[in-house]
Structure 1
Amino acid sequence: MEPVSEQRGYEAKKAAWPLWKKLAGAALVTILVLAVAHNGGDSNEGSAHYRRDTFARAAINSTSRSIWRPKVGATWQIMLSVPLDPNKAISPDVDVYDLDMHLNNATAIKRLHDAGKKVICYFSAGSYENWRDDKGDFKPEDLGNGVVGWPGEWWLQLSSPNVRKIMAKRVKFAADLGCDAIDPDNMDGYQNDNGLGLTAQDSISFVSFLTAEAAKYHMSTGLKNSANIVTSLVDTVDFAVNEECAAHSECQIFSAFIQAGKPVFHIEYPDGAPDVESDTADTMCNPSGGDRFSTVMKLLTLNAWVEYCNGAKYN
């Protein structure tokens, strides 16, 4: 007898399947066809962004039970120009520290964890900085105009696959350090002369992407400034980090986070700091719409000096 090929043998076996198995197989094929038709019918970039963001939300939901989520009213300190000295006593005694991940190591972060603190790790996700170790990974077409007031920094094309690949590595680096959350900066390129045609939707898509990457490593994500996209992302991210909403009369916008049960880590840079007059401090600490914000007063250098609304100062 002529040997039966693998394909013919498979067909013969399939013909002998019971009716329930044939029906189940047909149903599965139908579902797959409909899914492909639904997701693949539009190949433009907007549709691709939509699909990526859908996957981002799915990733966030799949790990939500194990992600640290800060509480409204959490106390904090932010230091971005100096590293934490793990050999010194932890001061101030606050709930959360926001640190530049490039200036700190796993030892410093473990020191904070041992003291019962949580750590948010800062990095610039929306701009190229010509002093970072991975600066050579960017392509010329990834860069737009220079960031005004910040020499050596350029806006980034947020939809670039290369940029997203680099930022995914940075998120993983934060996880490897032991960070509990990320604070990705410069998400507001659309509000600036970026030279890339960036839109608010570009930033929404990019923040969603970063949030999904962080969720892979059980880290939460904050929205930095970007008042125009708060309503679009308040349900996606876990907290806000805001600079000068009191000075710009926009704290009411960020109060959406408080209403959603998520904290606003609020920074003001008062005139006269580190010698802040009481009237100035009162304005910074009690802005319209800023109820229950976690407010600190800092120098623009974001070094160790900090003043709190209760008058306590640390350096």
Structure 2
Amino acid sequence: MVRLRAVGPALLLLLVTACSAGETADGTAGERAAEPWRPAPGLDWQWQLTGPLDLAVDVPVYDIDGFESDARDVAALHERDVRVICYINAGAWEDFRPDRDAFPAGLLGEGNGWEGERWLDIRQLEALRPLMAARFDLCRDKGFDAVEPDLLDGYLNETGFPLTADDQLAYNRMIAELAHERGLSVGLKNDLPQIPELVGDFDFAVNEECAEFGECAALTPFIEAGKAVFHVEYALDTEEFCATTTALGLSSMAKRLDLDAWRDPC
């Protein structure tokens, strides 16, 4: 064990200041690391959840699967100064995930239309808290900068549970709290009706198909707060939405529904 000799107050202050200003693993100053990353509007991004992971897309932000990706993928992106978002399903159980047996049967509702997935009873906060905490621990331990918790709008769907808007608010705020406790920023996925109430709890937004359904203006509270909105369309070509969404400040692109590596950005 190395022993440090006593130092005077001035030198001690210098040492403390130097440590706090030191660089973190992603090359940012220590003061910045004390707060979760908050992406600014207009950042270009890549979102890939299926297929061989293409790490070569020249964008400052990647959103990739938290289970399927590993720490080496995140580190490789960090070496290019790319921020990395961890996709985690927070609203549905998935029978293909390694933690599937940790979810009690009483939490599982109707299928959500995707093979192997069932809605979760988000009213059961105390049962879900440790399960989601473990998933966010996975993201943190792999070095991710942020999380994208999917399906934060169960109350708008036929889940098999009588979910209310208040149930969703309570659950979404718990999700944001769990992320922030781990030093991760967190995005609000869809749930457009509750944006005015949740914009202060989340660091950015992720949206699917707001242009197709004429809803993109609902995302402006995030832009006005200086927070990015990462947006995709599946059924529209870029010439059908880019002019509108770019003017609103959204980070938009066209993707295939399976979210493979292909992208057509605005």
Q: TM-score normalised by the shorter chain: which range applies? A: 0.7 to 0.9
Give the AA of the match of 2:194: I
Q: CA deviation at 1:305?
A: 0.3
1:126 counterpart = 2:74:
no
Distance (whole Å) between structure 1 residues aligned to residue 78 and residue 34 of structure 2: 20
Compute the displacement of 1:270 (Å). Answer: 3.1
Aligned partner of 1:294 among 244, 248, 251: 251
Instruction: Give the equivalent residue in structure 2 for 1:159.
Output: 123
- Would the aligned equivalents of 2:217 and 2:248 in 1 still touch at CA under 8 Å? no
Q: Is the 8 A contact 1:252 1:290 kept in 2?
A: no
Higher RCO, Cα 8 Å, sep 6+: 2
CA apart distance, 1:99: 0.2
State the 1:82 CA deviation. 2.8
Match of 1:302, as an amino acid?
A: L
Give the TM-score normalised by the residue count of structure 1: 0.71
Gaps of 5+ in 1: 1-62, 272-279, 310-315
Asked if residue 77 in structure 1 is aligned to residue 41 in structure 2, the reply is no
Letter in 2 for 1:256: P
Q: Structure 1 residue 159: deviation in Å?
A: 2.6
- For the residue of structure 2 that corresponds to 1:66, the secondary structure is coil
Inter-CA distance 83–165: structure 2 relative to 1 (3 Å threshold): farther
Partners of 2:161 and 2:167 lie apart in 1 by 11
Structure 1 runs, 4 residues or longer, greater than 2 Å off: 63-66, 82-85, 286-290
Query: 2:248 & 2:117 partners in 1: Cα distance?
Result: 34
Q: Between Structure 1 and Structure 2, how many residues are aligned?
A: 234
Structure 1 residue aligned with 2:35, among 43, 49, 66? Answer: 66
- 2:62 is equivalent to residue 97 of structure 1: yes
Q: Deviations over 1:77-126 (max 9, x none)?
A: 000113535xxxx4221110000111100000000001110000001000
Letter in 2 for 1:292: G
Residue of structure 2 aligned with 1:229, choices 188, 194, 202: 194
How has the CA–CA distance of structure 1 residues 167 and 175 changed in structure 2, closer, same or farther, with 3 Å as cutoff?
same
Work out whether residues 83 and 99 of structure 1, in 8 Å CA contact, stay in contact via their aligned partners in 2: no
Larger Rg: 1
1:129–1:202 CA distance, 2 compared to 1 (3 A): same
Q: TM-score, normalised by structure 2?
A: 0.84
For residue 238 of structure 2, what is the aligned residue in structure 1? 281
Per-residue deviation at 1:286? 2.4
Conservation of the 8 A alpha-carbon contact between 1:64 and 1:215: no
Structure 2: 5+ residue stretches without partners: 1-31
Give distance in 1, aligned partners of 2:220 and 2:240: 17
Partner SS state of residue 287, structure 1: helix
The reply on whether 1:172 has 2:137 as its aligned counterpart is yes
Separation of aligned partners in 2, 1:290 and 1:233: 23
CA distance in 1, matches of 2:46, 2:246: 22
